[in-house]
Amino acid sequence: MLAVVAALQHFRHYLLGNHVTLRTDHHSLRWLNTFKRPEGILARWMETLAEFDYEIEHRPGRLHCNADGVSRPACKQCIGKVAKVPWVDELEKADELTEPLGIRGISWAQEVTNDEVTALQRKDESIAPVIQWLENEYRPS
């Protein structure tokens, strides 16, 4: 169950709002949704899982041969086949998506001077009012 909680929390930004099917060979996780009075760490884990739309599907270990590539033999359907889609490291992709957005630096083209940029900003219908507010120390509601 700790693995389920950790995985759902790690991929939370992908999974929220989507239905998730948790396939496991751990049959005792099936009782999770019918547990009457959880206490302690189990109650906290169930509270964490409550924000996800998930179902637990049991698949016996002998039928679950593609679950763990290190400890299980390759599945018969995959032997000799080349993946149609290149491998995407989801953890790396998640880091890219959650990286803070911002501008680290701006460089101006040499043809435009600071005075010209100021003049263009004062003519712009979106920026001009903000410049006036700043100059007049006006704070709109």
Q: Going by C-beta distance under 8 Å and a sequence separation of 6 or more, which residues neighbour residue 90?
A: 11, 14
What is the CA 101 to chain-centroid distance, rounded? Answer: 15
pLDDT-derived band at 114 (thresholds 50, 70, 90) equals confident
Domain spans, the chain: 2-81, 108-141
Q: What does the pLDDT look like over 3-30, one tens digit per residue? A: 888 888 999 888 888 898 888 777 777 7
pLDDT-derived band at 92 (thresholds 50, 70, 90) equals low
Q: Which pLDDT score, from 0 to 100, does residue 124 have?
A: 92
Give, to the nearest 10 degrees, the angle between helix 127-136 and helix 114-123: 100
Percent of all residues in the chain with a pLDDT value above 70, rounded to a whole number: 67
Q: Is the pTM of this model over 0.85?
A: no
